[in-house]
Structure 1
Amino acid sequence: MDAKFYKENRSALYRNLKPSSMVLIFSGEELRKTNDEDYPFFANRNFVYLTGVEQKESILWGQVTETGDIKETLFLLPPDKMKERWTGRRLTMPEAEAVSGVADYAFLEAFQPMLEQTLSQRQVDTVYLDIDESTIGGNVRYPARSIQSYIEETYPDIKIDSARAILKTLRTIKKPCEIEALKKAEEITREGILAMMEHSKPGMYEYQYKAYYDFVLAQHGLLEPGFPSIISGGKNNFCIHYYSYMGQVCDGDMVLNDVGVNYDHVTTDVSRGWPCNGKYSDKQKLLYECAYNTSEYMFRTVKPGIPAMDIDKMIKSYNCRQLMEAGVLKNADDIDTYMWHGGAHHIGFDVHDVVDVKGRLTEPGMVFCIDVGIYHEEWGIGFRLEDNCLVTEDGCVNLSANIPRRWQDIEEIMK
């Protein structure tokens, strides 16, 4: 993404703000892990979506005057020679401007005085904050909540409004550069999954599969996956979010991978399931065909104009029919015995992207996963077939179609 992308995103945000208002978006702070060690920093995706900057303790200030003029400032940590020796150099103002396109910068210590002056002089009557409701009651240090409390206590006449609601709407439709980045990420995801398939054999440990995947990403300069990889085998496939990687995969077991690649800030999310020995059993084929047929149906069916909230129901309904026709499911009311999770979620700057589709129809530029999971505990078979669907003007495209999906193709690769 270039500075033009971030400038357009900010302009779209500002157009949704009231006159005499301001918006504050925080990159976030590091969290302490232990005595003198922090968890790896991960910037607020809304902040990155608006600036491209991934540095901690940065703040975007956007102000809309009474006449509609825009003033924006990016606050950054000041240079600190000693700290930079230990934790790496900080962005300079020219570097941050080149990334974000924000022309006005200040160091972080100027933020609080500038905020107090703006509020005390009543230059704004509304402040928009990016409040994550999922942090309520949690132990997460969240700068926006501190600012919210400060304003409510000190300036009770100034209204607090949600920037997150606006950003969810803006992030729902992907721009062409986001889609191109996703396509590149799909290529790398394909390489990683193929590496696991090609090296698969009975007796391997889950961490060995993970090592093959991580190595491919490292070859592309990516030191972390798009999200914590889910790679499991056998009975561990029945833990939907499994991160232990310590199990041994025995002859006849299925390997499940649910993995992604973050490329230029956007993230894929692809799942495949295959027998570690390279040969699907009759029962594995039966269940896999149900999932595959459901996935194919969805890619034939998705187009603009479908209630977006119905996608998940469509997946569940069709997969239910497939399982009944296969003789696996006797009563449609028992579908939750074999389908344990939803079948669709949007992807983008977040792997479970922050979007607003309630009451909306599908539109060109929406990108979401079609995720068909089947879990048959009695047979010891659990897997997901998950692909990334881009809604187009006249239908949809499977962005991850080049990652082998048919069981026949997977067997051929694993010969």
Structure 2
Amino acid sequence: MKKEFYQGNRNRMYQKMKPYSLLVMFSGKEVRKTNDEYYPFYADRNFLYLTGLESKEFILLVRKDSGEEINEKVYILPPDPLKERWTGRRMKPQQVEEMSGIGNLSYVQEFEKDFHKLASEGNYQYLYLDLFKEDFEDRDLPAHQLLLRAAAAYPYLQIENANAIVRELRTIKQPCEIEAMREAEKITRAGITAMMKASKPGMYEYQYKAVFDYVLGQYGPQGPAFPSIISAGENNFCIHYYSYTGQAKDGDMVLNDVGAWYDHLMNDVSRGWPCNGKYNEKQRLLYECALKTSNHMFGMIKPGMLMAEVDAEIRRYNGLMLKDAGVLERPEETGAYMWHGGAHHVGFDVHDAICPPKRITPGMVFCVDVGIYHEEWGIGFRLEDNCLVTEDGCENLSAITPRTIEEIEDTMQKGYFAADYGKDMEHI
């Protein structure tokens, strides 16, 4: 993304803030894994959405005075040759400005002094913080820690919800975001088709994952957009399965729920295929129910439709398909085979942190996810695609990945060639 994208995001944010406000956003800190080891740093996505900066411990401080008068400042880590020798070079001021479009910079040690001066001088009434927690027991982040200090030292500052504003902005994707998602779809397709071509009875789940990770590694160092869900046989009945220890036996279905990212934008694609390359009668029957349901949804989603109706219609229509196929006696019993929701938004997060919309509007991107889990038959899979809402309908962004029975079986018969993915590598 170019700096103009992040500048535009901030300007839209500022328009929604009240006059005489302060905004503080944090990039986040490393989380300790064990002893002297940390988990890889993962920048706060709202901070990233506003700045484009992925370095740890950065802080964005903005003040909005009367009218449209805005002052922005980013606090960065100072140079430290010894630490940089161990953990890599820190971003320099010129790099920060080129990436974010913010030229007013200080080192993080100056933040407390600057914030105290602004908060105590009496010119500001509101303090915008991103205080979101998924669960009450989640650890406190730097914004929560600042809230406690501010409540004690500056009780006259009214706390406002920065998270709600950013979520609203992230709900509608901009053209550059959509183009990045298209690139992510191409990478995901390469990884999924590689697994299809490599598939064979006796293959372990960790081997499927290794194929996917290897192919994604040819497109950049970032790897999968989220922990890949790759399972076979009875493990397909664990919706979020991460063990990768099972073995695909002849006749088993392989389930994948995976995604790539490109320029911070993520996708989420699921396919289910027989490890031996040929759907049996029952697998074919259930897969066709899911495919018909998915095609039905992509034929009807359009602006103005209630967002809640996406999931409801997936369940209703899939119930009809399962009844017609003789699997259900009544469509209302579809919950016996559909165990999870059918739609979630994607973007800077794979389950994107957006403001849940009442109605669908152009520029939204969400998954159409049809899962069928028939334990008695030993068949579990999902067919998940990414839906871009257009001005008069929608587009299946992940239609480029084989999704019909014919496409999948044909792909699997071709065998695995790394060169298929645009890379000059030897035949594997």
Q: Tell me which interval the TM-score lies in, with the shorter structure as reference length.
A: over 0.9
Shift of 1:210: 0.7
Distance 1:123 1:317 in 2: 56
Shift of 1:358: 3.6
Task: Give the alignment of 1:141-156 within 5 angstroms.
Answer: 141-156=140-155
Contact 2:27 2:55 in 1 (8 A): yes
| Residue in 2 that maps onto 1:125 | 125
Contact 1:29 1:141 in 2 (8 A): no
| Residue in 2 that maps onto 1:306 | 305
For 1:409, give the aligned amino acid: E
For 1:366, give the aligned amino acid: M
Distance 2:94 2:123 in 1: 29
For 1:218, give the aligned amino acid: G
Distance 2:115 2:93 in 1: 20
> CA offsets per residue over residues 227-281 of structure 1, 9 Å max, x none?
0000110001111111111111100000000000010000010000000000101
| Residue in 2 that maps onto 1:369 | 367
| Residue in 2 that maps onto 1:390 | 388
Task: Give the alignment of 1:260-271 within 5 angstroms.
Answer: 260-271=259-270
- Secondary structure of 2:171's counterpart equals coil
Shift of 1:141: 4.2
Contact 1:309 1:357 in 2 (8 A): no
Distance 1:144 1:66 in 2: 25
| Residue in 2 that maps onto 1:38 | 38
TM-score normalised over the length of structure 1: 0.98
Unaligned runs of 5+ in 2: 414-428
- Secondary structure of 1:99's counterpart equals helix
Shift of 1:333: 3.8
| Residue in 2 that maps onto 1:4 | 4
| Residue in 2 that maps onto 1:409 | 407
Shift of 1:135: 4.5
- Secondary structure of 2:377's counterpart equals coil
Task: Give the alignment of 1:65-84 within 5 angstroms.
Answer: 65-84=65-84
Shift of 1:353: 0.5
- Secondary structure of 2:399's counterpart equals coil
Distance 2:36 2:221 in 1: 26
| Residue in 1 that maps onto 2:326 | 327
- Secondary structure of 2:96's counterpart equals helix
| Residue in 2 that maps onto 1:344 | 343
Distance 2:296 2:245 in 1: 36
TM-score normalised over the length of structure 2: 0.95
Q: Which runs of 4+ in 1 moved over 6 A?
A: none
Aligned residues: CA RMSD:
1.0
Task: Give the alignment of 1:64-143 within 5 angstroms.
Answer: 64-138=64-138, 140-143=139-142
Shift of 1:63: 1.1
Deviates more, 1:219-228 or 1:108-117: 219-228
For 1:160, give the aligned amino acid: I
Distance 1:309 1:43 in 2: 31
Distance 1:27 1:135 in 2: 20
Distance 2:324 2:311 in 1: 20
Task: Give the alignment of 1:242-281 within 5 angstroms.
Answer: 242-281=241-280
Distance 2:68 2:198 in 1: 60
Shift of 1:156: 1.4
Distance 1:189 1:286 in 2: 26
Q: How many residues align?
A: 413
Contact 2:24 2:61 in 1 (8 A): yes
Shift of 1:68: 2.9
Contact 2:319 2:332 in 1 (8 A): no
- Secondary structure of 1:177's counterpart equals helix
| Residue in 2 that maps onto 1:187 | 186
Contact 2:319 2:333 in 1 (8 A): no
Shift of 1:197: 0.3
Distance 2:186 2:102 in 1: 32
> CA offsets per residue over residues 376-410 of structure 1, 9 Å max, x none?
01111000000000000111000011101101211
- Secondary structure of 2:213's counterpart equals helix
Distance 1:322 1:102 in 2: 54
Contact 1:278 1:411 in 2 (8 A): yes
Does residue 158 of structure 1 match 2:157?
A: yes
For 1:379, give the aligned amino acid: W
